[in-house]
Structure 1
């Protein structure tokens, strides 16, 4: 009888602890601020970052139209877009060589101007673990790269851009990326920092010697499956990236507790299967404090289908969850009717807001005139929302 009581007490304690743990992870981040009205600021197909005047004018225009969140790229093409001691030590260049970025700190300029206008600045780690194949970063650290099962390294972005992928599982790669993130969080008055699917890597990769050796050590000497979409192989690699993200999250929070960790991935199924980035698990574990899912669809049926996906709906109940909407690309304009329909649907379903890719296509890369596009934004964001 005594043992039965002890067992019952033990089980009750376990149940209470489990219930508390589950409760603590499932509690939502209470956020009573306004609608997220964001835009990504890029150094591709855009000149806004390449002179102080362009940068100032762009932020002023966005403020006038009641945008409130800026996501400027800070890591692209194998370079930082801010003066980086970490980058200088590793690749010999402290900033992207574009002449418009020399002798200035565009990130500091953005932060100063945006904060004067009561706008958030959340730097975007756009390239993540990706790098140009001919970059100094890639050519000087070949041991950092991951490979396909046929030993190839090149991954084509579009038809012309040859890329390679740093191995997110490699300790030296993790140290480099962590140092860049820590440098930004430490040195700048940012509101958050953002990652996307490039913080994983294409699932066809992972057959480099480091990853293969690690897998074999954890699988009684067995080699990774030849099928790169094998569920266990997908899960094992994505779990390793999740472990790294956990470490990085806590490093960020140890420096500045109020810096939010934002992630802007594709929908969960694609993100995990194609890029090994299991953002739904990150969200459940509490490593995401703002989620902006990129739903770049050219018709409302496809757009609506993504909005009702389970992982997205679950995240919406826990953390500020917004929708990334494509406003156009060079050579691929998006008409205002579709943009308006997607914004309205997002609002109707009570998401936390929207962010647009990208600045130039808000009004410069479009079928309509810049004036027509700006009148649209003035109408759609007619009320002032400070986030």
Structure 2
């Protein structure tokens, strides 16, 4: 548990040569790699060491989120998959991946799948269906479960769509993630679409006629696909309103070099998504076992989508359960490059284990950046290890510990005399940074390690970190702080307030440029379009009262400098329901009354922004 009174710290600029064109080199992390913090960290290190640049991390799986989701809790009373209780897979992936310069995309693997019989008691469908039994999709024969033992949510129902959008926008607001990859935005088969809600919607739009009994009817396929297309547009609009730099992608399949199988078999019109701009790019998955067949599929894609920059061909290491030879793996990548596509995604990470050395030596021979991204987007980070005595300056009585830290032995101190470690960073560019401590835990450690963070305005922030809870081991984020380029003391850990009989651990600290808050940084020095002198995250001090409220609430806030302040109110689907632009003449504290006229009861989010930085709080309307 972190008790925040304020925070920040660390960073490193790793330059990659421009000899090779930028290309996507992606892979997927499935549940079997997420069993522990250590296995996830090792995966990220391995992926980066073998010159991949993008990781799709499983975060919506088998009917549960793998991050602590307020949206899911509001619907079900459950925060996270019980398998990962006490963890936040997305926060861990961001910390471990961004310290290696990797792009991290939240993979919504299960899309419209709301439950799986394999993790429920007999007859159970999953927590979302326990809360909303009318959300279960039905087949033409009235059946619900599919051949993979999945239960799907009703694709056309607004509440279902809003739920999925709300989970995605929750991530976009709260995490410095590089993208969101949607998956299974399709039907399980053409037999689905015969639930009561879809039936009534179809009748309302088709002169009272019911859905065709021929589930392969072309107009019926088109109608279902159109509803998914409209959902994708709403998803894109909701996400881009929060973070216009977020990469929105999807992972459809293509099983043929002569037919639009995703559409014909699953009502999935990914070509339409590319045409209307509801995705930034697509990872088209194929399951063929030869590069000749793969090349034929790419030729077919070129016929369907002339703009090859929007499509990343994806392939399996084990198509049909048979491993590709090393030569064929290289051929798959070569044919991709030769046909003008800008990279590949390969699944899964665990399947790559035996061929990583070959790929690094013969295919991905040097680091590279994703084709859709600014070249150095994820290169602004730095780690100061405890062994670096020039930048981790110890004073007082520190002893080397037998408890291993980030990269070697950690240190510890008691309360017999004052003890501190000052961490100095060479901050590469002006911007907001995520500040992390590498938390070394043990049963005899303090539950309130005193860590101070200093921003560029000399503001001090204090965090208290629990070093006795093993669930909080490894990287723990302290907070977001604005730092200016140059060498400076960003973090200090001290034994202030340390209790008798307890010890304080000290190890590495890290800073990573927060791209959600500082998207315009392009190189060493000032952030582009910097409008005001930016200060620590604490300066907005955004509050509302009463909360919950009925009819009207008062919003109070403090701004760091004069200029236009933007206040927005969003619903849980990410839709903007209120907007106020206010010009403040001078820094200070302000308030505004906001009414709920025309709004339904429920959860809303209020966001305040100035000069590119935003802070958000949750409010509840009870009418």
Report the TM-score when normalising by structure 2: 0.52
Q: Distance in 2 between matches of 1:374 and 1:283?
A: 32
3-state SS, counterpart of residue 155 of structure 1: coil
Deviation at 1:56, TM superposition (A): 1.1
Q: How does 1:101-120 map to 2 (within 5 A)?
A: 101-120=84-103
Determine if the alignment matches structure 1 residue 75 to structure 2 residue 60.
Answer: yes
Determine if the alignment matches structure 1 residue 193 to structure 2 residue 167.
Answer: no
Q: How does 1:265-344 map to 2 (within 5 A)?
A: 265-267=252-254, 269-310=260-301, 312-313=302-303, 315=305, 317=307, 319-328=309-318, 332-344=322-334
Match of 2:555 in 1: none
Say if 1:242 and 1:282, in contact at 8 Å, map to a contact too: yes
Relative to structure 1, is the Cα distance of residues 253 and 203 closer, same or farther in structure 2, using a 3 angstrom cutoff? same
Q: Structure 1 stretches (4+) deviating beyond 6 angstroms?
A: none
Match of 1:12 in 2: none
Determine if the alignment matches structure 1 residue 345 to structure 2 residue 335.
Answer: yes
Residue from 183, 187, 191 that aligns with 1:204: 191
Relative to structure 1, is the Cα distance of residues 329 and 385 closer, same or farther in structure 2, using a 3 angstrom cutoff? same
3-state SS, counterpart of residue 98 of structure 2: helix
Q: Distance in 1 between matches of 2:223 and 2:165?
A: 21
Q: Distance in 2 between matches of 1:292 and 1:375?
A: 24
Residue from 219, 225, 232 that aligns with 2:206: 219
Relative to structure 1, is the Cα distance of residues 200 and 254 closer, same or farther in structure 2, using a 3 angstrom cutoff? farther
Determine if the alignment matches structure 1 residue 382 to structure 2 residue 373.
Answer: no
Which has the higher Rg, Structure 1 or Structure 2?
A: 2
Give the number of aligned pairs.
Answer: 338
Deviation at 1:38, TM superposition (A): 0.4
In structure 2, stretches of 5+ residues that fail to align are 1-19, 118-124, 371-623
Deviation at 1:331, TM superposition (A): 5.5
Say if 2:288 and 2:319, in contact at 8 Å, map to a contact too: no
Deviation at 1:329, TM superposition (A): 7.4
Relative to structure 1, is the Cα distance of residues 49 and 33 closer, same or farther in structure 2, using a 3 angstrom cutoff? farther
Say if 2:287 and 2:319, in contact at 8 Å, map to a contact too: no
In structure 1, stretches of 5+ residues that fail to align are 1-31, 364-369
Q: Distance in 2 between matches of 1:165 and 1:75?
A: 13
Match of 1:93 in 2: 78
Deviation at 1:386, TM superposition (A): 2.4
Deviation at 1:361, TM superposition (A): 0.2
Q: Which has the higher contact order (CA 8 A, sep 6+)?
A: 1
Q: Distance in 2 between matches of 1:331 and 1:154?
A: 25
Deviation at 1:92, TM superposition (A): 2.3
3-state SS, counterpart of residue 27 of structure 2: strand
3-state SS, counterpart of residue 314 of structure 2: strand
Residue from 236, 250, 259 that aligns with 2:237: 250
Deviation at 1:330, TM superposition (A): 10
Say if 1:200 and 1:241, in contact at 8 Å, map to a contact too: no
Q: Distance in 2 between matches of 1:61 and 1:37?
A: 13
Q: Distance in 2 between matches of 1:359 and 1:315?
A: 28
Deviation at 1:199, TM superposition (A): 4.4
Match of 2:126 in 1: 135
3-state SS, counterpart of residue 121 of structure 1: strand
Deviation at 1:65, TM superposition (A): 0.7
Q: Distance in 1 between matches of 2:98 and 2:244?
A: 19
Relative to structure 1, is the Cα distance of residues 293 and 168 closer, same or farther in structure 2, using a 3 angstrom cutoff? same
Task: Give per-residue Cα distances to partners, 1:338-367, cap 9 Å, x unaligned.
Answer: 32221111111121101111010002xxxx
Task: Give per-residue Cα distances to partners, 1:165-211, cap 9 Å, x unaligned.
Answer: 10111011112111111111111101110112344442210011111
Q: Distance in 1 between matches of 2:49 and 2:287?
A: 26
Deviation at 1:142, TM superposition (A): 2.1
Say if 1:316 and 1:351, in contact at 8 Å, map to a contact too: no
Q: Distance in 1 between matches of 2:131 and 2:319?
A: 33
